[in-house]
Structure 1
Amino acid sequence: MGIIDGLNKNFENRVRIGIMSVLMVNDWVDFTEMKDLLQVTDGNLASHSSALEKVEYIEIKKEFVGKKPRTSYRVTQQGKRAFQDHLSALEKLLGNV
């Protein structure tokens, strides 16, 4: 087994790492807040959050508040485990360098 085998391909992108980092320490975060925190475009956030939802690492909730649509995100238990495993693999990798 190679030293990079424990790294998760779903977290190879900086936007995905950012999304997961924000969600690990917050319950629900809405689209606008996430976009502002990460300084990314609407499309960039939408595509990366959809990819994380597809592998069931985050949950996306779409609702209306009054007449305005609101999209919010939260990390799933599976996502928490996967991200923690990824961070552990990074730490192990750095310890071997």
Structure 2
Amino acid sequence: MGELDRHLQPPARLKLMTMLATTSEVEFVVLRDGLDVSDSVLSKHVAALSEVGYLRSRKGTRGGRRTTWVSLTGKGRKVLTEHVGALRAIIASVE
């Protein structure tokens, strides 16, 4: 069985990573609303996951306003896949 990644154990971080897994990048406000958290909470999660190389963010403008886009890195995608595999193994042992 694979190991759970300690950086993905907080539920909001795992959900953030899974939201990013199906797309190339997502606007910060979409992530914030999808996670139902404040800007500051999401910023802390993004910063923590960026620090370990799982996410990257870029700033720009859209419709005349500043915005931030967030995406998974290759490392982040690999770690997420391994983490989900470990969760599946744990769940399978219950059945």
1:1-97 matched pairs, under 5 angstroms: 6-65=3-62, 67-97=64-94
Instruction: Let me know the Cα RMSD of the aligned residues.
Output: 1.5
Percent of residue pairs identical: 27
- What is the TM-score normalised by the length of structure 1? 0.88
Per-residue CA deviations over 1:21-47 (Å, capped at 9, x if unaligned) read 110011110111111111111111000
- What is the TM-score normalised by the length of structure 2? 0.90
Per-residue CA deviations over 1:18-71 (Å, capped at 9, x if unaligned) read 110110011110111111111111111000011010011011111234652111
2:42 is paired with a residue whose SS is helix
1:27 is paired with a residue whose SS is coil
The one-letter code matched in structure 1 to 2:44 is: S
Distance 1:65 1:24 in 2: 23
2:58 is paired with a residue whose SS is strand
Distance 2:40 2:74 in 1: 26
The one-letter code matched in structure 2 to 1:55 is: V
The one-letter code matched in structure 2 to 1:82 is: V
Distance 1:18 1:96 in 2: 23
List alignment gaps of at least 5 residues for structure 1. none
List alignment gaps of at least 5 residues for structure 2. none
